[in-house]
A and B are shown apart, each in its own frame.
Chain A
Amino acid sequence: MPGFFESLFGKSNKTTSGSTAKERLQFILLHDRINLPPEKLEAMKAEILQVISKYVSVDDSGVDFALQNRERIPAIVANIPFTKPVEPPDPDDDLPPLGSSRKES
């Protein structure tokens, strides 16, 4: 992973303007290439999280979306930690659930 090496070597020394230029360029080109306005990008992230939250319980504080270039093809890399599975939907067919419970609260 270039990111790993960069943080290991590049940044441990003082940051040079050349490496700043490279980082800025990577960021600029990413957004040039995906050509999606920021609010759409945010909406997409929110929707992705919403879908994932249907299945697992997401730890919001640890969520990280990163855009990356892979040979001119932009990619979204998401790191979405979850604490525990979401309560399974009311299982009609399985073992009787905890007595009185309705699926709510």
Chain B
Amino acid sequence: MASNTGAAGASGSPKKSSTGAKVVTITSGKGGVGKTTTTANVGVALARMNQRVVLIDADIGLRNLDIVMGLENRIVYDLVDVVEGRCKLRQAMIKHKILPELYLIPAAQTRDKTAVSPADMIKIADQLRPEFDFILIDCPAGIERGFRNAVAPADEVLIVTNPEVSAVRDADRIIGLLEAEGKGPAHLVLNRAKADMIKRGEMLSPSDVTDILAIKLIGIVPEDDSVVPSSNSGTPLAMLDASRAGQAYRNIARRLMGETVPFMPLEDNSGIFKRIGRLFGGQGG
């Protein structure tokens, strides 16, 4: 039975603890920057490396993670059913079609964020910890209740942003809120980076963004045309070995597991460009 004894295992270290899962919340502030895609792909990548993974969709009322994972027609119970005692936690966990150690707990579609409290999320995470290596929580956009729910049980927070002024601004706000809650330091996923535009100076570079936000990168995901077809079919890119974005997500997964993985080059002839970037950015993305 899931007693509470093993629940307090996770320390601040990036390595997975043998006594319990690491809870990783994926957030952004702004909507539409790729939180759900990131959650799905990092989850798949971890599961492919034989990690036991459960994904929780915390976006109550606007669930989407089930669709990106291709599991939408297997939903019987959801997160709110668990919280309100209509089912056991196990019954709300949907097993992935291919990866045997990957599960999804879907959000309720007909309720709102207030159906769940931060304390509920902590309780559910603690129940899951002994049986998993990673618990990934897909946070809704915004900074209100849904955000507080998703962040409450987090051992580690990933902030997804795009190289755009509005997305980076919202990321900064999230960083400030996380600092105030003592949930730091978060790590940054720069999503939808376009090498050619960055090279021409038409897009914020990774070092521009880390320079401005003053947090560490955990991944740079290149813009990839295969993202849309993959969500069309409900097969996250990290399932496929060919795509560059899929590779970037697998690298994020390895970094979450404590490995040191060099960042893949955004563009091929990056020598001079990178050096200039470092001059301005200081950190060298």
A residues neighboring B (CB under 8 Å): 2, 5-6, 9-10, 16-19, 21-22, 24-26, 28-29, 32-33, 69, 71-72
Closest to B168 in A: A25
User: With A5-B280, A21-B165, A25-B212 known to touch, is A33 a contact of B205 (CB < 8 Å)?
Assistant: no
A22 to B186, CA, bound (A): 21
Closest to A10 in B: B280
Instruction: Please tell me if B56 contacts chain A, counting CB pairs below 8 Å.
Output: no
- Per a CB cutoff under 8 Å, which of B175, B214, B279 touches A5? B279
User: With A28-B165, A28-B169, A72-B214 known to touch, is A2 a contact of B201 (CB < 8 Å)?
Assistant: no
> Quick check: B175 and A72 within 8 Å, CB to CB?
yes
Task: With both chains docked as a complex, state the minimum distance between the C-beta of B70 and any C-beta of chain A, in angstroms.
Answer: 36
- Per a CB cutoff under 8 Å, which of A10, A16, A71 touches B200? A16
> Quick check: B201 and A71 within 8 Å, CB to CB?
no
Binary interface profile of B, 194-207, with partner A (CB < 8 Å = 1, else 0)? 00011011111100
> Quick check: B204 and A18 within 8 Å, CB to CB?
yes
Closest to A70 in B: B214
User: With A28-B169, A33-B176 known to touch, is A6 a contact of B201 (CB < 8 Å)?
Assistant: no
A29 to B169, CA, bound (A): 7
Q: Which residues of A contact B78 (CB under 8 A)?
A: none
- Which of B201, B208, B214: most chain A CB closer than 10 A? B201
Q: How many A-B residue pairs have CB under 8 A?
A: 56
**B213-235 at interface with A (beta carbon < 8 Å):** 213-214
B residues neighboring A (CB under 8 Å): 164-165, 168-169, 172-173, 175-176, 197-198, 200-205, 208, 212-214, 276, 279-280, 282
> Quick check: B280 and A2 within 8 Å, CB to CB?
yes
Q: Which residues of A contact B276 (CB under 8 A)?
A: 9
Q: Which residues of A contact B204 (CB under 8 A)?
A: 18, 21-22, 25
Q: Which residues of B contact A22 (CB under 8 A)?
A: 204, 208, 212
A16 to B204, CA, bound (A): 10
> Quick check: B212 and A32 within 8 Å, CB to CB?
no
Q: Which residues of B contact A26 (CB under 8 A)?
A: 212
A24 to B205, CA, bound (A): 14
Q: What would be 30 A-B contacts, judged by CB atoms less than 8 Å apart?
A: A2-B282, A5-B279, A6-B280, A9-B276, A9-B279, A10-B280, A16-B201, A17-B202, A18-B198, A18-B202, A18-B203, A18-B205, A18-B208, A19-B201, A21-B165, A21-B204, A22-B208, A25-B165, A25-B169, A26-B212, A28-B165, A28-B169, A29-B169, A29-B172, A32-B172, A32-B173, A33-B176, A71-B214, A72-B175, A72-B213
Q: Which residues of A contact B213 (CB under 8 A)?
A: 72
A26 to B212, CA, bound (A): 7
- Per a CB cutoff under 8 Å, which of A5, A17, A28 touches B201? A17
A22 to B280, CA, bound (A): 11
- Known interface pairs A16-B200, A33-B172; 19 further A-B residue pairs with C-beta atoms within 8 A, sorted by A's residue number: A5-B280, A6-B280, A9-B276, A10-B280, A16-B201, A17-B203, A18-B202, A18-B208, A19-B201, A21-B165, A21-B208, A22-B204, A22-B212, A25-B169, A32-B172, A69-B212, A71-B214, A72-B175, A72-B213
Q: Which residues of A contact B280 (CB under 8 A)?
A: 2, 5-6, 9-10
